[in-house]
Copies of this chain bind each other. A is one copy, B any other.
Amino acid sequence: MSTERLIYLPLGGAGEIGMNCYVYGYGKPGEERLIVVDLGVTFPDMDSTPGVDIIMPDITWLKENRNRIEAVFITHAHEDHIGAVGHLFNDLGAKIYARAFTSNIARHKLNEYGIEGNAVQTCSKWPETVQVGPFTIGFLPISHSIPESSALVIDSPKGRVIHTGDFKLDTTPLVGEPWDPELWAEVSKDGVKALVVDSTNVFAKHPGRSEAIVTPAVEKLVAEAENMVVATTFASNVARVRSLAEAGAKAGRSICLLGRAMRRMIEASVETGVLKDFPPVIGAEDAVNMPRDNVMLLVTGSQGERRAASAQLARGKYNGITLKEGDLFLFSSKTIPGNERGVIRIMNQFSEIGVDIVDDGDGDYHVSGHANRPDLQTMQDIVKPQIVVPMHGEHRHLREHVKLSESLGRKGVLAVNGMMIDLSGNEPKVCEYVETGRTYLDGSVQIGALDGVVRDRIRMALNGHVLVTVILDEDDEMLGDPWCEVMGLPEQGRSHAPLVDVLEEDLSQFIGRAGAKTLTDDAKLEEGLRRVTRQSALNEIGKKPEVTIVVSRLS
């Protein structure tokens, strides 16, 4: 007879930065009662996910074990932690628990899917706790860059786990509760079985810097600006948005928020009371009519996103506002790897207009929201966990974080998405491998990463697409000639004749030579037509296109 165990299972976020989703369970093997921590998204890119709208963790395993799920906990309202609640709520059928600000954001996301607000339960912070199944869970405040970020204190009969969520050790974070080492020591004093911990900045060697250090630099920059000032950062970096707005207000400028995400975040912050003294804002229609040196715009699109406010301003206009020579544009942000091209495109477009760009080249206008290596060490020194489980990192981050833990004399376990870890004993053990992956929201449909849909799109993008239509009559004789249409291929190649003519000629010859065996067998005929098309294209234009064959038989 098996005994109860405490398990940890990452489904997203362990082996990548993005789409966080972690599962904890307690009970007999295979019957554990489960909680889900975070339901995040990650963003597509042209290289690997063209046309996809949003990427979410594949929660097939959770759906199969739906009746075992007690609740979903959201640590904070960043998209990589909360972004999938609307899309996935109905698959899980469990209540969502979060603190007030995070709940506000979650409810809006659920509303978009017609789900009622009472699906979300607002919780108070530690020392209050909620009981769900075998777990007692508390939201332990921790500093990050968005209001009410919290670690989770997860108590089970097998001991206490602290799941840090995203964090930094900031005693002056501007929004959200400051880092409180005494509180954390108090929570940890009776022993912590496992610390499941943010690994984002494990390679950053210097101690992290406080959000507060950005303020003076931004204030100076804005005060000295002579024309319009525009600043961009992640809308969800509420601390930064506040710093920027205050710098603007201090310089006598009216603040105008541009971009839906920016307005939504500030609205939620004000509604929930976490941002009490945000400067008054004006609408875009008022900003247009004010002297340029009286306005400061706070805009979305710090990562160069094509449809966001920054990119639209760079292309010419957003909400009636245009930038001009001598205006100042501040990137109060770090460019996430992979987004460089988009950001640089915007910078050059602004350069063409004559807008002066300031970015975070010297670290004056941005600080990270994540704990650096020495801070991770401090965290371990305070919590003194029996086991360290790095999360929120790519494989290289997790591996380095395990190494760091071991160098500090602690057990570390490298658990990537799909590895179920038994935390019950003194040694963490991999007890099961669960199939995981990515689910794409594509238009209105969820598709699997391995369905082949995106693979076909990439192939068409790389190779172009040829459509071949052939009509055969009742006697399997060709009616007319083969017909080709091409998309994404040059009009002509080596022979300087139209490519479609060359292809059609080669296909005609093939059919002319084909015997009854080929002409009567759809599979054989299609295979032959495909082969001839690809070879003919290779000769003519030096590449083998994707080919779709339609054989119509009249009968």
**B-contacting residues of A (Cβ < 8 Å)?**
15, 45-47, 50-51, 203, 337-338, 340-341, 344, 347-348, 350-352, 354, 357, 361, 394-396, 399, 442-445, 447, 451, 453-454, 456-458, 460-465, 467, 469, 471, 479-480, 483, 485, 487-494, 538, 541-543, 546, 548, 550, 552, 554
Contact = CB atoms under 8 A, between A and B. Distances in A.
Contacts of A546: 487
A70 to B, nearest CB: 30
Contact of A351 (B357, B399, B480, B543): B399
Nearest to A362: B205
B480 A341 contact: no
10 contacts: A46-B50, A50-B461, A338-B340, A340-B340, A351-B394, A443-B490, A445-B492, A457-B461, A479-B554, A485-B548
Given A352-B395, A487-B546, 20 more contacts: A15-B348, A47-B341, A50-B462, A347-B396, A348-B396, A442-B543, A443-B493, A443-B542, A444-B494, A444-B541, A444-B543, A456-B464, A457-B462, A457-B464, A457-B487, A460-B461, A467-B548, A479-B554, A480-B554, A487-B548
A439 to B, nearest CB: 12
A465 B483 CA distance: 18
A507 to B, nearest CB: 14
A488 B456 contact: yes
- In the A-B complex, the 3 residue pairs with the closest CB atoms: A444-B542, A443-B542, A443-B543
Main secondary structure of the interface of A (DSSP, over half): mixed
Contacts of A462: 50-51, 457
Nearest to A455: B488
Contacts of A491: 451, 453
From A51, A361, A488, residue with most partner B Cβ within 10 Å: A488
B340 A471 contact: no
Contact of A444 (B15, B461, B493): B493
A411 B97 CA distance: 64
A412 B228 CA distance: 26
Contact of A460 (B351, B352, B460, B471): B460
Contacts of A480: 552, 554
A61 to B, nearest CB: 22
Given A443-B543, A465-B460, A550 B454 contact: no
A448 to B, nearest CB: 10
Given A337-B341, A340-B340, A490 B447 contact: yes
A365 to B, nearest CB: 15
Given A541-B442, A542-B445, A488 B457 contact: yes
Nearest to A544: B443
A373 B411 CA distance: 48
Contacts of A550: 467, 469, 483, 485, 550
A309 to B, nearest CB: 20
A483 B552 contact: yes
A344 B451 CA distance: 25
A487 B465 contact: yes
Nearest to A463: B51
Given A45-B341, A396-B357, A543-B51, A465 B463 contact: no
A377 to B, nearest CB: 18
Contacts of A543: 51, 442-444
Contacts of A47: 45-47, 341
Contacts of A396: 347-348, 350-351, 357
Nearest to A499: B445
Contacts of A394: 344, 347-348, 351
Contacts of A460: 457, 460-461, 465, 487-488
Contacts of A45: 47, 341
A479 B347 CA distance: 56
Given A461-B46, A464-B457, A493-B445, A471 B352 contact: no
Contacts of A464: 51, 453, 456-457
A459 B354 CA distance: 32
A464 B350 CA distance: 33
B442 A490 contact: yes
A479 to B, nearest CB: 6
A394 to B, nearest CB: 5
Contacts of A395: 348, 351-352
A447 B445 CA distance: 36
Nearest to A488: B457
